[in-house]
Structure 1
Amino acid sequence: MTNSLATLLAGSIDYAGIFPPAKLSVDQAVRSYVDYRQQADAWLLGRMVCGVDRLPELAACSSLLRGTPIRLTLVCPTVGDFKDVADFQRAQAAHFCVAALELKLPAWMVESVDSLDQFLDHVSKVTDALAMRNADVFLEIAAGDWGNALTNVLSSIQARGSTRVGLKIRLGGLSENALPTPLQVGIFIDACRSAGVRWKATAGLHHPLSRPKESGQTEFGFLNLFSAAVLACVHQLAPSQIAAILAETSADAFQFDERSMSWGDHGATLSEIADGRRESIRSFGSCSFEEPRDGLRQLNLFGASDPLEVHQTESPS
């Protein structure tokens, strides 16, 4: 394991075992998460993802925890669910820490700047009132909203100067004609970078490297995604250049050593990788921790020992 790869992917996998296709019980998912963070590869582990409707089941699992509370990302259908989250956090502070909230923006809202402004102001007031002002909030734009909608949302977030509000992009679990292309994802990454807005990804990222689907669409690799996000920050890459990294299918095209990483002519030092992570991609949601980890092992990217130095943006627990 090299320091550059460890820095690129530290805390990158948000474990979402209760969601399809794994669909584990909350009890099983908590047990798995607790087990994963005791393993040597725990540096890859980010937050645990759970739906707000499963909070009673989550509370019932508190006896399974040992030591450090689990950092949670909670998927909320509406802002009205934030009160349930706050009540849960107060009651379960010794066992769980709500680090992030996720909301899906309705299509009608993203077309109206005024509606977005009102919504984000409301989110801010609610989180402040419920003492959750330190939780990240990730807003998902529906598939296909790649034009004015993306610009509107980013402009509204940027105008408020909040570093806690980011975007969420879905790269799988959609119909074939709704899946984004590498260029569309490149546009998304470039737009977020330009606006100074962090983001996370979910679904479809089962393997380290991208691969073509029979339909002609791209199944994105998380190694591609994180490399593209960081290098876009370091070199101010255009969407087409970002898309080329996202579409790369050869492991040999990515180079990692103790001091830097590179793809083609574009490289980044350890400090630049760490800065790129802080400024761009937060993590990706996966219903499996083992599948992406084992994919890295199959590429022979894991050495015999743990990394000596990992520039993390957050504790993986």
Structure 2
Amino acid sequence: MNPIFLRLFDDAAIFPPGDLPIPDAVKAYRERQLSPLEPLLGPFVCSLARLDELIAAAAAGGRPLPVSLVLPGPDLAAVPAASTAIDVVAIEAPGLIGRGGTRSAYREVAWAEITATRVAALRDAGLRLKIRTGGVRAEAFPTEKDLAEALCRATEGGVPFKLTAGLHDPIRHRDPLTGFEHHGFLNVLVATAHAVQGGGAGEIAAALADQDGHRVAAAITTIDDGLAREVRRQFVSFGTCSISEPVDGLLQLGLLPEGIL
């Protein structure tokens, strides 16, 4: 498997528009852990408000479930102690000012507010960046220029980032039902490759804007293992309420081994 895809998909199945019941989502995650899809899996994403429900479902069996915990605010005292059912490996919250131990900690910042000064402050605090790339309104989706500028600043500042919302499809496209322009996660990988190699915002925006799936897939295959590691140190993962959709997209483009499902 191409190393650029390892641990790329954070499982946000319980969030809209997936809204899978927690027991069903945990069962599906456990099944993928025992399948050839396991190397693709990031942590299971859960809000603090539903943590007790998650612990009850995860306690039914299996090794501790790796969890990225979404807090409503910066209060790290809300993070639970160690549990035999779950392992909180990451924290996501607005307004974070400290890491809270050895866990990865992501501060959500609106893409329009990602400045060089703010990125430097995150780096100095040992924090990572969470960028929202979609939602239920058109204005929640950054343009390719907006996202390119955010990726440039994060990369230049040495701050790893994760993305969330609107990234189920590998390739940039317009949703036929909503009319919203969605970014493609393969586009983001190619754009990040340009960024870590010193590419400018125009070059990065062009990679984000490309809607030719075969051309974007071909660009992915030119990224060698060393560059793939650099890309993924920067672009850590993205939250998706569907694991099957991005996997299906990669299969259709010939970027995953046959028989992985």
TM-score of the two chains, using structure 1 as the length reference: 0.75
The CA deviation at 1:37 is 1.3
Deviations 1:140-168 (CA, angstroms, capped at 9, x unpaired): 1135x34xx533321212334x2xx1111
Structure 2 equivalent of residue 246 of structure 1: 208
Alpha carbons 1:99, 1:135 under 8 Å: kept: yes
How many angstroms does 1:216 deviate by?
7.4
Alignment partner of 1:170 is 2:132: yes
Counterparts of 2:4 and 2:225 in 1: how far apart (Å)? 9
Contact 2:133 2:140 in 1 (8 A): no
CA–CA distance in structure 2, aligned partners of residues 185 and 211 of structure 1: 15
Task: Return the offset for 1:104.
Answer: 2.1
Tell me if structure 2 keeps the 8 A contact 1:190–1:239: yes
2:106 is paired with a residue whose SS is strand
**Matched residue SS, 1:205:** coil
* Paired residue secondary structure (2:89): strand
Higher relative contact order at CA 8 Å, sep ≥6: structure 1 or structure 2? 1
1:18-37 equivalences in 2 (<5 Å): 18-37=14-33
Unaligned runs of 5+ in 2: none
Cross-structure match for 1:300: 254
Residues of 2 paired with 1:174 and 1:141: CA distance? 18
Amino acid at match of 1:78: G
SS in 1 for 2:94: strand
- Aligned residue number for residue 225 of structure 2: 270
Deviations 1:59-101 (A, max 9, x none): 21233332x3221101001222x323233xx2x1x33111111
Structure 2 counterpart of 1:75: 70
Matches for 1:181-200 after TM superposition, within 5 Å = 181-200=143-162
CA distance in 2, matches of 1:196, 1:104: 20
Cα drift, residue 49 of structure 1: 0.1
| Corresponding position of 2:172 | 210
Output the CA distance in 2 between the equivalents of 1:76 and 1:227: 30
Residue aligning to 2:237: 283
Q: Contact (CA 8 Å) 2:194, 2:203: kept in 1 or not?
A: no
CA distance in 1, matches of 2:186, 2:33: 21
Counterpart residue identity of residue 51, structure 1: S
The percent of aligned pairs where both chains have the same amino acid is: 29
Aligned with 2:78 (options 77, 84, 87)? 84
Instruction: Name the CA shift for 1:27/1:180 in 2 (closer, same or farther; >3 Å).
Output: same
Task: List runs of 5+ in structure 1 lacking aligned partners.
Answer: 106-118, 128-132, 263-267, 307-317
Aligned to 2:119: 154
Give the Å deviation of 1:305.
Answer: 5.8
> What is the Cα deviation at residue 255 of structure 1?
5.0
User: Which region of structure 1 is more displaced relative to structure 2, 184-193 or 54-63?
Assistant: 54-63
Cα distance in 2 for residues equivalent to 1:189 and 1:142? 12
TM-score, scaled relative to structure 2: 0.90
Q: Which of 1 and 2 has greater Rg?
A: 1
Q: Quick check: 57-66 or 184-193, which moved more?
A: 57-66
1:111 aligns with none
Distance apart, 1:204 and its partner CA: 0.3
Which letter does structure 1 place at the counterpart of 2:42? G
User: Is 1:231 aligned with 2:194?
Assistant: yes
Query: What code does the residue aligned with 1:301 have?
Result: L
Once residues 217 and 241 of structure 1 are traced to their aligned partners in structure 2, the CA distance between those partners, rounded to angstroms, is 23
Corresponding residue for 1:179?
Answer: 141
Q: Secondary structure at the match of 2:80?
A: helix
**Aligned-CA RMSD value:** 2.2
Letter in 2 for 1:99: V
